[in-house]
């Protein structure tokens, strides 16, 4: 990426603008429109220069996609850890029983167990006493990352006919009804 950056930094502004726009679209024409460069300007450049700029745009596009995919892959690992933390967390991680056997919130215990990242909000009463905690819903974000990397499992759907039985299709009936519609359309003309 450093080598590509060095090459891009040497381009003239108009060429750099073209390369960035070309890396985002599938045609020279659309890149020129997006960059505000007249087609006549682009086609006045030597053919070798046009090809060089398009190769740079392709390399930039590949680097962008690769960088994004690597972030997703690394995020997927963290997402799996968050889901595992959520699945394994219990009230025991956040509560200690006092001498009367009553549960009390114990953030030191949660911290020692590495669970504080699961807390989204601490709720206090009007006197400033901690009353409850709200756990952070990291599962939604984690699911999104995992869906992008591992794919969402296919959910089976069952569709039934009017009577709750299987849906049937009579090809001969469909052909007859279609022909009737075609005949009616010809009569109207």
Residue 170 within a domain: no
Residue 40 within a domain: yes
Residue 13 within a domain: yes
Residue 129 within a domain: yes
Q: Give SS3 for 130.
A: strand
Q: Where are the alpha helices (DSSP H) in the chain?
A: 2-9, 13-22, 28-35, 39-44, 47-88, 107-112, 138-150, 171-188
Residue 91 within a domain: yes
Asked if 59 and 135 touch (Cβ cutoff 8 Å), the reply is no
Domain residues for 41?
2-71
Residue 134, pLDDT score: 83
| Lowest-pLDDT range of 66-75, 77-86, 119-128, 153-162 | 153-162
CA dist 42 and 40 (Å) reads 6
Q: For residues 54 and 89, state if they share a domain.
A: no
Is the pLDDT reported for residue 83 higher than 80? no
Q: For residues 31 and 65, state if they share a domain.
A: yes
Domain boundary among 71, 94, 123: 71
Q: What is the pLDDT of residues 131-146, one digit of tens each?
A: 888 877 666 766 766 7
> What is the dihedral angle through the alpha carbons of 125, 128, 132, 137, rounded to the nearest 10 degrees?
110
Asked if 166 and 160 touch (Cβ cutoff 8 Å), the reply is yes
**Structural domain tally of the chain?**
2
Residue 173 within a domain: no
């Amino acid at each position: 990426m450093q080598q590509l950056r060095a090459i891009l930094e040497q381009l003239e502004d108009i060429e750099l603008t073209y390369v960035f726009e070309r890396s985002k679209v599938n045609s020279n024409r659309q890149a020129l429109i997006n960059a505000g460069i007249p087609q006549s300007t682009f086609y006045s450049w030597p053919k070798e220069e046009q090809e060089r700029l398009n190769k740079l745009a392709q390399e930039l596009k590949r680097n962008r996609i690769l960088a994004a995919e690597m972030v997703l892959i690394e995020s997927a690992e963290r997402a799996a850890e968050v889901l595992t933390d959520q699945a394994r967390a219990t009230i025991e991680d956040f509560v200690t029983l006092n001498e009367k056997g009553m549960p009390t919130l114990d953030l030191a215990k949660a911290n020692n167990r590495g669970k504080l990242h699961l807390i989204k909000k601490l709720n206090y009463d009007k006197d400033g006493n901690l009353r409850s905690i709200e756990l952070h819903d990291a599962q939604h974000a984690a699911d999104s990352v995992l869906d992008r990397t591992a794919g969402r499992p296919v959910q089976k759907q069952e569709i039934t006919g009017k009577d709750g039985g299987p849906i049937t299709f009579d090809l001969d009936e469909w052909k007859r009804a279609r022909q009737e519609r075609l005949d009616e359309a010809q009569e109207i003309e």
